[in-house]
A and B are shown apart, each in its own frame.
Chain A
Amino acid sequence: MISVKVFKISSYSDEDLLRLNDELDLNLSLDELRAIKKFYSEKSRQATDLELHTFSQVWSEHCFHKTFKSRIKFGNEEIDGIFKTYIFKATKELNKSWCLNTFSDNAGIIEFDDRYAIAVKVETHNHPTALDPFCGAHTGMGGVYRDILGVGARPIASMDYLFFGPLDITNEHVPHGFYHPKITVKRVVEAIADYGNKVGIPTVNGSMFFDVGYVTNPLVYAGCVGIIPKARYIKQPKPGDLILVIGGKTGRDGIHGASFASASLSGVSSEIYYSAVQVGNPIEEKKIIDAILRARDEYEKPLYSLITDLGGGGLAVAVCESFKDLGCRIDLSSVQLKHSNMAPWEIWVSESQERMLISVPKENLEKILEIFEEEGVGVNLIGEVEKSNRVSVYFKEEVVGDIDLNFLFKGIPLPRMKAEIPKLTNQEEVLLEDEEDYTQSLLEVLSHPNISSKEWAIRQYDHEVGARTILKPLQGVNGEGPGDAAVIKPLYDSWKGIVISNGGNPNYSSDPYAMALSAIDEAIRNNVSCGGRRIALLDNFSWGDPNDPLELGKLVLAAKGCYDGAIAFDAPFISGKDSLYNVYHDGKKSISIPPTLMITAIGIIPDVRKSVTTDFKRSGNYIYIIGFTYDELGGSAFFKLKGINGGKIPTVYPERARQIYDRIIKAIDRGLIKACHDCSEGGIAVALAEMCIGGYLGAEVNLDKIPTNLTRKYKILFSESNSRFIVEVAQGYEREFEHLMRGVSYAKIGYVISEKELIINSSKKKIVNASLQDMIRYWKSTLAF
């Protein structure tokens, strides 16, 4: 006997609706419940539990992105959806022919060359990571690989951006029910290594950031890049095609993941939502990848007519979205289960990992089953595509749900939201007296967790499986220096490459608009620094509660920055994701994470053999700075070190930035640049130090030559103005290089030296004199478990 509950909701009062909402854990709003009630009243039907759970999943913030679609009143402005008004608008206006598929499939798809396309996706897996750092990060990787496989592409590289509480926080400041950041860091890194290494996807790019705002809500962004022959991209299910779930069995793990991801956390969340966290199995995923790619490639055409991954909301979301223009009939009794007594609605919304949904023309069934059998991949034939505009869900002969696709996708009442215009606080000018010597300040900035070497984590990740990694995350003589971006050569028979970089700094969140522009500039300049061009962007927002008008106001401003940045840099957004409600309630008050926007930049380089690393190459070579240094120390690592609030958040002058980037690319193509490193956290001083560390060489630099209107030395050393590079040019090439740089701010500021020390002079005095040994020691000692 199967258990399906039905509810006569047409006769429910608001109170009844809310009680039902709680009972079934639907996480729907009263407006949404009323809309559902109205629909069922009109149809004179009762609602089954499976149908209600379908609304709960498909309409969740996690799947439907209500906040990004809703109308917002922002001061006197009326915004018709953040996504439409800012993010996607930039993509539409830029209208690039090389953007093949943006924001409509599991991943953004852009052209690579005549034959191939690149697929990219970055996901957040924040809520699960807070509860179970290992499983959360583990399944975050698994999920984003399946997003890439979900467009039929082969995953070839992955990225991760991680945000944790401070490592030195004392236990009494970690609320009951949460892990100490040290444990979270270890478990998350272990999980990324376990999943990525085992599936065989090199983890090539990433970042790690520590702030007290992430103690209860650590963030894990997992990204993946894939490659697919253009002709093999297919998404054309036809009536009569068979619907298959392939991969692992379906269990109770991950039930309500999507609605849980749309709620905020408290100390007891781990008890309530334990089943919401999924458990990963990387080998199961690897088998699916192998099998799907064979089904894609072994015959003239792919054997499937549609492929998508089973992610948030499980079958409910994948089936309804995949066949929303057609319809289908599903029989849940043929899904292989981990537990024998699962109710149909549980099977329907389970988020058990390592499963994909495909549709297969009947004539291909035998061939595809043969592949799955050899690869050891489980298969469940669960239904058939129909032209009915509904999803009819059966359990054997019994109807357990009948979903009207038109209402499901068009019937959601979007809220009208209110946003407050945030006041820019903490930006008043701070003026410090200059010190005689900044050696110790530099060393301490180098050892700040956000800046220090991440080698401890990076070496646990396989960053070269596949043998496609041309610029690795650690660079230089001993592999100790940091890289700006990763360069991947996706095809064994072509020298063309993909350049992968990121940008984002929550320390700038007091000015969300400038933070967004800075993130875009940082991601792009990291890309340019290695030789990347024709850049596509991905936006990933992790935010607090959007129902708080101030939080929403910050979100609007950041989105505005995204639009302006994308247009100004001629770099369209191709994919994105938002994770909201990253809030912790301690019973008295709510604490939001710092607004955290991460930008991923994907560029291409025509010939990877021309790409450039950050390490100084040879003593005697000249050191140049490109770009202008402003009084922009707000949110800087130097002010953090000194415990100072205030100062101006770095902004971007896109016109000038683009001129610089064009010239840097030209210089790289002509082979004029030996080393290139962008100035970001820690400013010029840190960039120089890192180039010394990578090259195991020294440098002598004259501060007075740096293009700026500033006079205070600490400002010039540590300002975090955007769009700047430190560049090494070989002797004999300086004239050609300078010729190329005409029209932008630049200066020859010194040269690489064989003595193992970084010397920065001003007014003929050494204001920094740091030995290479000290710089390495400080830089490498922070993250060493």
Chain B
Amino acid sequence: MKVKSLVIRAEGTNCDLETVEALKLAGSEVDLLHFNRILRNPSLLEEYQLLVFPGGFSYGDCISAGKIFADLLGAGLRKELNKFVEAGKPVMGVCNGFQVLIKLGLLPFSKDFVQQASLVVNSTGYFIDKWVYLKYNERSKCIFTKDSPNVIYLPINHKEGRFVAPEKILNKMLENNQIVYQYSSQSGDVEERYNPNGSFLNIAAVCNEFGNVFGIMPHPEKYVNKYQHPAWTRYQNLKEEGEGILIYRNAVNFARKF
């Protein structure tokens, strides 16, 4: 039996097609549904083993990025989402999806739907499209990044990607190894000069306390084959498969048990 994944889109979602493509490549069966349809029939969620919130500008990112979508989800699907997460099923948000999960309060801690951190406007003030190196935290229990290389390379495409949180929360995240990827140099040095958006602790991706909810600002679905790399014409030794596919494959493999 193939794993069934659900990609939820809303007004302004725009990375849905490549997300579906990455999940298919990772061996999943995928449905792409509008949030409005799920809202009409929330029990639909039970049919799926993996839930993905893709990138984009849900509801125009009005108020702040992902805020409206998060509020609508909280109001309409709270019970079903809670059940999904409590069962240990994997949930993933990329870029706007990450912003949604943070504002919904499923990240960094999946408890009581209380927002405890935020993703705010980049310190430059601008949207930025750029490829970045990400240092992996090997001690993280994130199920999405099992066997990740020490450093991976992915594009960021966002205006509100600066991760901020109170020190208490940051410390708790550090303690639990919930910081999964940090912006770094090619060799994995996590320093301020490699930080593209002013994120606290160079945070690029986090997981919840159990490792089954994952949010990442860079786009793994945009690097699933070699020819999406920005300098593929230079490097003969690049693998045919891009580094982002690992995350989807891990998710699909993990979801199999549900």
A residues within 8 Å of B by Cβ? 193, 197-200, 281-283, 286-287, 290, 374-376, 458-467, 469-472, 474-477, 479, 489, 492, 608-609, 611-613, 615, 617, 675, 695
Could you tell me the distance in whole angstroms from the C-beta of A478 to the nearest C-beta in chain B? Answer: 9
Question: Is B60 in contact with chain A by the CB < 8 A criterion?
Answer: yes
> Which among A199, A462, A475 is the interface contact of B231 at CB below 8 angstroms?
A475
Interface pair A283/B12, CB less than 8 Å apart: yes
In the complex, which residues of chain A have a beta carbon less than 8 angstroms from the beta carbon of B34?
Answer: 290, 374-375
**Which residue from B36, B57, B128 sits with its C-beta under 8 Å from A459?**
B128
**A286:B11 contact, CB within 8 angstroms:** yes
Minimal Cβ-Cβ distance residue in B for A467: B18
Does B59 sit at the interface, judged by CB under 8 A?
yes
B222, A467: Cβ atoms closer than 8 Å = yes
In the complex formed, the residue of B with least CB distance to A481 is B231
The answer, among B12, B18, B59, for a CB contact under 8 Å with A466, is B18
16 pairs, CB–CB < 8 Å, chain A vs chain B: A193-B127, A282-B57, A374-B36, A376-B36, A459-B130, A462-B127, A462-B129, A463-B129, A465-B14, A465-B157, A467-B21, A475-B230, A476-B231, A608-B227, A615-B233, A617-B234
CA A283 to CA B11, docked complex, whole Å: 7
- Residues of A close to B17: CB separation below 8 A: 466, 492
Contact A460:B128 (CB < 8 A) given known A470-B227, A492-B21? yes
A199 to B12, CA, bound (A): 7
* Majority secondary structure of chain B interface residues (helix, strand, loop or mixed): mixed
Known: A198-B57, A283-B60, A470-B228. A374 touches B128 (CB 8 A): no
Closest Cβ–Cβ distance, residue A560 to chain B (whole Å): 39
Q: Point out the residue from B21, B57, B231 that lies within 8 Å of A479, measured CB to CB.
A: B231
The 3 closest A-B pairs by CB, nearest first: A200-B14, A467-B18, A283-B60
Which residues of chain B (141-180) have a CB below 8 Å from chain A? 155, 157, 159
Chain B window 12-42, contacts with chain A (Cβ cutoff 8 Å), 1 for yes, 0 for no: 1011011001000000000000101100000
> A290, A465, A695: which contacts B15 (Cβ < 8 A)?
A465
Chain B interface: which size bin?
35 or more
What A residues does B230 contact at CB under 8 A?
472, 474-475, 479
- Asked if B224 is at the interface (CB within 8 A of a chain A CB), the reply is yes
A675 to chain B: which residues have CB within 8 Å? 233
Residues in A neighbouring B194, C-beta threshold 8 A: none
Task: Tell me the bound Cα distance from A464 to B15 in angstroms.
Answer: 10
Which residues of chain B are near A199, meaning CB under 8 Å? Answer: 14
A residues near B9, Cβ cutoff 8 Å: 290
Q: What residues of B have a CB within 8 angstroms of the CB of A695 in the complex?
A: 234
The digit string for B223-258, where 1 denotes a CB below 8 A from any CB of A, is 010011011011000000000000000000000000
- Other-chain residue from B60, B61, B224 in contact with A467 (beta carbon distance below 8 A): B224
Which residues from A are CB-within-8-Å of B12? 198, 282-283, 286-287
B9, B12, B18 interface centre (most CB from chain A within 10 Å): B12
Determine whether the beta carbon of A460 is less than 8 Å from that of B60.
no
Q: Which one of B61, B221, B224, B227 lies within 8 Å of A489 (CB-CB)?
A: B227
Q: How far is the CB of A481 from chain B (nearest CB, A)?
A: 10
Q: A193-B127, A197-B127 are in contact. Are A464 and B228 (CB under 8 A)?
A: yes
- Are A479 and B131 in touch, CB under 8 angstroms? yes
For residue B56, CB closer than 8 A to chain A, the reply is yes
Query: What 4 new A-B contacts, CB under 8 Å, besides A283-B12, A459-B130?
Result: A460-B127, A475-B231, A476-B234, A479-B230
Closest to A479 in B: B230
- When distances are taken between beta carbons in the complex, the residues of chain A under 8 Å from B155 are 464
CA distance A175 to B57 in the complex (A): 38
**Contacts A200-B14, A462-B129, A479-B231 hold; do A283 and B59 have CB atoms under 8 A apart?**
yes
Q: With A282-B60, A464-B222, A609-B227 in contact, do A200 and B36 touch (Cβ < 8 Å)?
A: no
Question: Which residues 33-64 in B have Cβ within 8 Å of A in the complex?
Answer: 34, 36-37, 55-57, 59-61
CA distance A370 to B127 in the complex (A): 35
Check B222–A287 contact: CB distance below 8 A: no
Enumerate chain A residues within 8 angstroms of B224, measured Cβ to Cβ.
467
Q: Closest B residue to A373 by CB, please name it.
A: B36
Residue of A nearest to B130 (CB): A459
